[in-house]
Amino acid sequence: MTMVALTQHDVEIHENLKHWEQKPLLKRIYREFHEIIAAATLPADAGITVELGSGIGNIKDVLPHCLRTDLFPNPWLDQTENAYSLSFADKSVANIILFDVFHHLEHPGAAFKEFERVLIPGGRVIIFDPCMSLLGLLAYGVLHHEPIALRDPIAWMPPEGWSPQSDRYYAAQGNAYRIFWRRDLSQLLPHWKLVSKRRLSALSYVCSGGYSKPQLYPDALYPLAKGIDVVCDLMPALFATRLLVVLGSPD
C-alpha cells in the first residue's frame, strides 16, 4: 500500500485532466463505464445521488443530477466531501458512487458506517474498481504506479484515536477484489444486501493506455476492441480488469 501526502490526490487529478483533453478514446470509454454505473443506480426521485472522489468530474454527462464531490475543491465539482464524514442529512441519499475510489479507503468499515447513516433504506453503494485477474495483476501491478497490496492487511475499522481528517494518501488496488470476491461479506457488512456484482475484462480500456500510457490502437478500432471485450468477459479469472459491486443499505 502507499501512504504519502494527501495533496498527491489533487496533483493526480490535474495531471489526468491534461491527458483527458488529449484522448477522445478515453472519453468514449469512460462514458460507457458511467453508463454501466448509471444502470445500477436508483432513480433520481429516490433521493440524492453522490459521487465521491469525482476527480475530473465527467459523470454528469450520463447522470446530470449527480453531485460531483472530492476532497479538494475544483471549478468543475459541486462540493467537497470526505467519505468518512459526509455533510448530508440522515437518510437523504439514494446512491453513493465510488469510481476508482474504494481502493483509496484506508478504513472501509468506517466509510460504510457513514454511508449507512446518510443512505435511505435500500439506498445503494456502487463500487467500480480494479479487478485482480491474471490480466489485472499485469495491468495494475506492472503498468500502474499504485500498489496492488494483495498481501498487506486491510484495516477494516480504524484504530482508536483515528481522525476522519487524516492527511495520508492511501492506495491498495487489490482491496475491492480481496473484499468482494475473497471474503465473506456477511461478516464485514452483516446488514447490507449484495444487489449484484460482476467482473469486466475492459481490455479496450487497458489497451487505450488509460490516462498516462500510450494508446495501443486507433480510435476507429474501438468497436473491434469492444467485441474482444465481450469474448474476454466469458473468462473473468483470466481477463477481468474491472469489477462492479452494487450494495443495498440496511432497511
Query: Can you read off the three cell numbers belonging to residue 244?
Result: 462492479
The x, y and z cell numbers of residue 78, run together, are 459541486
- SS3 state of residue 162: coil
pLDDT at 9 over 80: no
Query: What pLDDT is recorded for position 6?
Result: 60
CATH code given to domain 2-248: 3.40.50.150
Cα 84 to chain centroid distance, Å, stands at 16
Q: Give residue-wise pLDDT tens across range 163-209.
A: 888 768 899 999 999 999 988 888 999 999 999 999 999 999 999 99
Boundaries of every domain in the chain: 2-248
Tell me how far apart the alpha carbons of residues 81 and 69 are, in angstroms, rounded to a whole number. 6
Query: How many angstroms separate the Cα of 47 from the Cα of each of 42, 84, 101, 123, 243?
Result: 8, 20, 22, 9, 25
22-37: pLDDT as tens digits:
899 999 999 999 999 9
CB contact burial 162-184 (16+ within 10 A = b; e otherwise)? eeeeeeebbbbbbbbbbbbeeee
pLDDT, mean over the chain? 92
Q: What is the pTM of this model?
A: 0.93
User: In this predicted structure, which of 55-59, 152-156, 227-231 has the lowest mean pLDDT?
Assistant: 55-59
Whose CA is closest to 83, among 187, 199, 165?
165
How far is it, in rounded angstroms, from Cα 84 to Cα 105? 9
Confidence grade of residue 1 (pLDDT, cut at 50, 70, 90): very low
